[in-house]
Structure 1
């Protein structure tokens, strides 16, 4: 036994075993592969410094792709439309599986069918009081919401009066605002900066054309944007393209994760300088 202990001590000194035991009470061998042993360091591999956010719009009606999006094994922000049959369920489901929840607020567009808006939409013809009431009710209808973005809204997001009220309510309720950029003349950046409201801008859509070829092209563009910028936000949807978008994101995620960390919007929303930058 003494001879065995002397041999063990010699092997330990040579770094060939470490002073631990396995489940059988035997000494465990050290890694013979210095590459995979991480040089003896307990530090995890460095994560990419750049950040990406994937937002999925239009939850609330049990549309195609809802289950597939909820089950994605990486972080997404779930934008839930208020006052719909599964609004509450989808918000609670997303929260339970660890996804961030925001209110997908219906707002008046410049073009498009009003039937696409859904209930409780913000129209530019409404009084200040009605707008405030609808925004508060929408927040109440979506449990666990930490932010808001616009559903459609190309007309409303260009209206200073309307967006002042929307942003005031967000500030009062502690929500940030994601400008989906359906109107590139949106007044949100300048107003939010003046009002001290945290905001973030969308940079692109995955599925504005609902074909697998287009979605795949947009995901490759997203990867390029991640590589070249500190922050990239992109929006997809449940609905006609929902299952396709989820499948393409799942397939490309290992490559996307090499470019950036994927985080909640709350991690990147900020009060911008008063020039809107």
Structure 2
């Protein structure tokens, strides 16, 4: 009996040692991935956002006047870079589409070519998310072409969830493309008070979930978003772990697209 007790104690000590070394089986800190959209055009708040002392996933619009510069700056500041691909939105928003946008009127070959060109234009990109896209992301044919191009590059896709009826998750699963879905828009109202309330919504989600993805922007809300995030980061220091989006997909492997 004594030998059994000793053996059990030894096994318990070994188990605790393995946990401490590997980090496995320990209740981990909840994870938050912040995506910042609309870089690539020298918009307001870009410098403040990139100087935040947490890892961000930065979505850079291709073919912009500052695309290369801001993608490189983000990468050198330790942030993750993805392509912010313009996609057809609801009627009346066509003027907001950037160069190289994907529309439902395009043929399959043109869609894939545009996705490939967008990827090539953004240094260090490891994935894509949609800019607008409430119409395009609901079109299965279009998303088949977009995600096929993503798959060919070994990248991931982030569904911004601009449309609740997006077919991207289903198509991505069918093609075996790693996908992450957005949960919260931080700055749909461009003031610090609202953005802070959205940060609290992140904490509320984490009460029942292990992770949360949230999207903010440079541009009109850029400086307010940077201010609110800086305040919140200091408040939750140690309570949550800030990660890049790709860290939420452990099996994710990508082909590096540097300079």
TM-score range, shorter chain: 0.7 to 0.9
Q: Deviations over 1:74-93 (max 9, x none)?
A: 11110000000001111100
Structure 1: how far apart are the matches of 2:30 and 2:232?
Answer: 17
Q: Is residue 2:246 matched to residue 1:247?
A: no
Aligned residues: 229
Counterpart position of 1:137? 117
C-alpha change, 1:91 and 1:134, in structure 2 (3 Å) is same
Q: Is 1:153–2:142 an aligned residue pair?
A: no
RMSD of equivalent CA atoms: 1.9
Map of 1:39 onto structure 2: none
- 1:223–1:256 CA contact under 8 A, matched in 2: no
Q: Aligned to 1:250, what secondary structure does the other structure show? A: helix
Q: Are the equivalent residues in 2 in contact too, given 1:227–1:259 (CA < 8 A)?
A: no
Q: What is the alpha-carbon distance in structure 1 between the residues aligned to residue 27 and residue 66 of structure 2?
A: 36
2-structure distance, mates of 1:133, 1:152: 19
1:48 shift after superposition: 4.3
Query: What is the TM-score with the length of structure 2 in the denominator?
Result: 0.84
Q: Do the aligned partners of 1:79 and 1:149 also contact (CA within 8 Å) in 2?
A: yes
| Residue 73 of structure 2: aligned partner | 93
Contact 1:226/1:260 (<8 A) preserved: no
State the Cα deviation string for residues 93-140 of structure 1 (Å, max 9, x = none): 011111000000000002342121111100000011110110000000
Shift of 1:174: 1.1
Instruction: Determine helix, strand or coil for the equivalent of 1:85.
Output: coil
Partner of 1:238: 218
1:48, 1:259 within 8 Å by CA — same for their partners in 2? no
Residue 181 and residue 65 in structure 1: after superposition, are their counterparts in 2 closer, same or farther (change >3 A)?
same
Displacement after TM superposition at 1:219 (Å): 1.2
Provide the C-alpha distance between the structure 2 equivalents of 1:97 and 1:112, rounded to a whole number of angstroms: 37
Shift of residue 180 of structure 1? 0.2
Equivalent residue for 1:211, pick from 185, 188, 191:
191
Contact 1:53–1:262 at 8 Å: present in 2 too? yes
Query: TM-score, normalization: structure 1?
Result: 0.79
Correspondence for 1:274 = none
Q: 1:166–1:191: structure 2 CA closer, same or farther, 3 Å change rule?
A: same
Instruction: Give the secondary-structure state (helix, strand or coil) at the position aligned to 2:157.
Output: strand
Task: Choose from 69, 79, 89 the match for 2:49.
Answer: 69
Using the TM superposition, give the Cα deviation of residue 260 of structure 1 relative to its aligned residue in structure 2, in angstroms: 2.1
Q: CA deviation at 1:217?
A: 1.1
Find out whether 1:82 has 2:62 as its counterpart: yes
CA distance in 2, matches of 1:95, 1:82: 15
Q: Hey, what does 1:113 align to over in structure 2? A: 93
d(CA) in 1 for partners of 2:239, 2:118: 35
User: Cα 1:47–1:78, aligned 2, differ >3 Å: closer, same or farther?
Assistant: farther
1:227 alignment partner, one of 181, 203, 207: 207
Secondary structure of the 1:228 match is coil
Kindly tell me: are residues 233 and 144 of structure 1, through their superposed partners in 2, closer, same or farther at Cα, counting changes over 3 Å? same
* Unaligned runs of at least 5 residues, structure 1: 1-41, 272-277
CA shift, 1:213, in A, is 2.1
CA distance in 2, matches of 1:61, 1:89: 10
Structure with bigger gyration radius: 1
User: How far is 1:150 from its partner?
Assistant: 0.2
Residues 192, 227 of structure 2: 8 Å contact kept: no
